[in-house]
Amino acid sequence: MSTQTETRSRSEILSEIAELEARIDELRALLPTCIKTFFRFRCRPEKYVWVYAENREQAEQRLHARMQRNYNDKGKTWELVSKVVDQYNDPQIAAAQSHGNLLTYLSENEAREFFNDYQANERGKAPDPNRPKHFPQSQLERDVSDWELFQRRKGNL
């Protein structure tokens, strides 16, 4: 350790802190989301099948694999009843469109993948200073929290 100590005034240190905090805010604004896209397919016998995937091609592959596992392997048939596929890039909107906990509509692996992406995305965000302390959670926040609690009770997390 050096015997020389750098003496800086309080105002210089506070100025540098302010510059670094401004840089942190800039970087947080540039931070891309790691959350992928939700796709909602119209199928039979299930009305809607939700898939969490990077893109449409991967979503279709996951849909076919899941429906094969759930139906064809058990001697039942399934089919796509519409070419219309809903795509939700914002998980808040996807959660609002689901008729229950969004994560329960996904396969277990997809739900876990979304949960991990959601947590990683939240770690990159700064807390909103304007949000009241006891403000109710959004639908998505409740869905993620409830799913996490259920998985912990099952011993899966």
Q: Which residues contact 107 (CB under 8 A, 6 or more apart)?
A: 62, 66
pLDDT value of residue 1? 43
103 assigned to some structural domain: yes
- Whose tokens are 């969490």? That residue is 52
Distance CA 136, CA 80 (A): 38
Q: Over its length of 157 residues, how does the chain's per-residue pLDDT go in tens digits?
A: 444 456 788 999 999 999 998 888 788 777 788 899 999 999 999 899 999 999 999 999 999 999 999 898 787 899 999 999 999 999 999 999 999 999 999 999 999 999 999 999 888 777 777 878 888 889 999 999 999 999 999 988 7
82 assigned to some structural domain: yes
13 assigned to some structural domain: no
Q: What is the DSSP string of 50-68?
A: EEEESSHHHHHHHHHHHHH
DSSP 105: G
Q: Which residues pair with 22 in a beta bridge?
A: none
pLDDT value of residue 16? 92
First to last CA, the chain: 44
117 assigned to some structural domain: yes
pLDDT value of residue 74? 80
When divided into structural domains, the chain yields a total of: 1
pLDDT value of residue 5? 52
Residue 105's domain comprises 37-126+134-154
What is the separation of C-alpha 111 from the centre of its chain, rounded to a whole number of angstroms?
Answer: 9
62 assigned to some structural domain: yes
pLDDT value of residue 33? 81
